[in-house]
Amino acid sequence: MSDWRVPGFTSTGSKRPDALFGAATPDEVEGLPTRLTRASGCRVWDANGREYTDYVMALGAVALGYGHPEVNRAAEQAMAAGVVGPLPPVIEEELAEVLAMRIPWLERVRFLKTGAEAVAAAVRLARVATGRDRVLGCGYHGWLDWCQAGEGVPAGTRALYAEIPFNDVEASRRLIRDAGDRLAAVVVEPVVVIEPTHEWLETVRVETTRAGAVLVFDEIKTAFRLAIGGAAERYGVRPDLAVLGKALANGFPLAVVGGRADVMAGSARTWISSTLATEAVALAAARATLEVMVRDDVCGHLHRMGTRLLHGLHRLHRKHADLVTGVGGIAEMCFLHFASDQVSADVARGCAGRGLLFKRTAYNFVSLAHDEAIVDRTLNVLEEVLGSIG
Ligand SMILES: Cc1ncc(COP(=O)(O)O)c(C=O)c1O
């Protein structure tokens, strides 16, 4: 796989054949779906013209189904109107307004293109607001330097960042208190493999305030999925800043950093700006997505379909306990824990061979296009594949 013009096979790490199927060599990749030609609803077609039912859903970036007609129509109109121009488009402020109506704690927002950019902007704004530099995080926050480690990341940058353990009340309290008056922000993904306990979310909220730091909810995966306002809405805990992305524009590139007006006001004292942050196609797609989300109670549908899927996964766990060691996630984003990497690869490949793209690691996502019959067929395929391996 080393001769590709795009090193690593593709620019999105989680779409690599190795990530999806545990396939790294050309021999292993042979016959597997590796490149896409088309996607519609919850169906996708690979370069060999084969059709699959999909649960990767663009890594959670699509909740209405691929190519949703109303979103596409809005995007086409924005394209016909010129995409970009010398001035910010009217729709930028309009979208900020409708987001604030639906998610009241987004008093002010800025738009960016990727989740990683938006979380980095939240961290910058927290540093501006507090005049401090330490950051505690929990979960995945993208590829940028502030939260990464290893080659290419300056040690001095890394030294400003540490992790708090998900759902561990005592350790989180201690780490926040230890960071004390050097702490600028606590950035948490509110769901990491399992649901957060209310006690943990409350502890993080209270301790962050006590430390005089900014609490950021990284809702890149959870907003527009658990609820329109994400985990903050579902669990009733308010962050100072929230970061949204992925399903926000149903696959068009857009992310948001937003929250308390006083913290967001710091954007006047630092430089957060991107040439194409205000292109109108993704902004229009996001507004159309939000309309469909509200009108069709999409999060309710995701919860119902996801619950049906999750129950089925638990049945598979009980029946094939030698291969499946547990079920991870919540209804809206779930996966199976497998006995080994090899088993997970065998299952993912077996599913692909039967027309199903089902992630072997976190997470599988349902969409508005998944119905009960599709979920039941999916569970039958998984059952057949596990039966053929066991
Ligand atoms: C919770 C969370 N934060 C940040 C990111 C980074 O977003 P992006 O890949 O759009 O930069 C992701 C991506 O998976 C994510 O899941």
Q: Is 189 in the pocket of ligand 1 (CB under 6 A)?
A: yes
Q: Which residue among 221, 222, 254 is best mutated to probe the pocket of ligand 1, counting the most ligand atoms within 8 A of its Cβ?
A: 221
The string of pLDDT tens digits covering residues 73-130 is 999 999 999 999 999 999 999 999 999 999 999 999 999 999 999 999 999 999 999 9
Strands (E) in the chain, as ranges, are 36-40, 43-46, 51-54, 108-112, 134-138, 161-163, 183-188, 214-219, 241-244, 255-259, 324-330, 333-338, 356-357, 364-365
- φ/ψ bin of 224: left (φ > 0), alpha (ψ from -120 to 50), beta (otherwise): left
Q: Is 114 in the pocket of ligand 1 (CB under 6 A)?
A: yes
Question: Which amino acid is present at 289?
Answer: T
Question: Which amino acid is present at 284?
Answer: A
Q: Beta strand pairing status for 108-112 and 364-365? A: unpaired
Task: Give 390's pLDDT tier (boundaries 50, 70, 90).
Answer: confident
The string of pLDDT tens digits covering residues 32-75 is 999 999 999 999 999 999 999 999 999 999 999 999 999 999 99
pLDDT value, residue 2: 66
Q: Is 115 in the pocket of ligand 1 (CB under 6 A)?
A: yes
Cα 249 to chain centroid, rounded: 12
Query: In angstroms, what is the span from residue 244 Cα to ligand 1's centroid?
Result: 9
Distances in Å between the alpha carbon of 152 and those of 132, 144, 155, 381? 24, 11, 9, 43
**Whether residue 368 has pLDDT greater than 90:** yes
**Whether residue 347 has pLDDT greater than 70:** yes
**Whether residue 359 has pLDDT greater than 70:** yes
Query: Mean pLDDT, the chain, as a whole number?
Result: 98
pLDDT value, residue 211: 98
Query: What whole-number distance in Å separates Cα of residue 288 and Cα of residue 176?
Result: 40
Query: In angstroms, what is the span from residue 44 Cα to ligand 1's centroid?
Result: 22
Q: Is 65 in the pocket of ligand 1 (CB under 6 A)?
A: no
Task: Give 1's pLDDT tier (boundaries 50, 70, 90).
Answer: low
The string of pLDDT tens digits covering residues 243-256 is 999 999 999 999 99
Residue written as token pair 């779409």 = 15
Query: In angstroms, what is the span from residue 360 Cα to ligand 1's centroid?
Result: 19
**Whether residue 333 has pLDDT greater than 70:** yes
The string of pLDDT tens digits covering residues 259-281 is 999 999 999 999 999 999 999 99
The closest residue, in CA terms, to atom 10 on ligand 1 is 115
Q: Is 190 in the pocket of ligand 1 (CB under 6 A)?
A: no
What is the dihedral sign for C-alpha 248, 253, 257, 261? negative
Percent of the chain having pLDDT more than 70? Answer: 99
Please identify, by atom number, the ligand 1 atom nearest to the C-alpha of residue 255: 10
- How much is the pTM? 0.98
The closest residue, in CA terms, to atom 13 on ligand 1 is 142
pLDDT value, residue 25: 86
Task: Give 24's pLDDT tier (boundaries 50, 70, 90).
Answer: confident
Domains parsed from the chain with CATH numbers = 81-295 (3.40.640.10)
Q: Is 137 in the pocket of ligand 1 (CB under 6 A)?
A: no
Query: In angstroms, what is the span from residue 278 Cα to ligand 1's centroid?
Result: 20
Task: Give 328's pLDDT tier (boundaries 50, 70, 90).
Answer: very high
Q: Is 113 in the pocket of ligand 1 (CB under 6 A)?
A: no
Please identify, by atom number, the ligand 1 atom nearest to the C-alpha of residue 116: 11
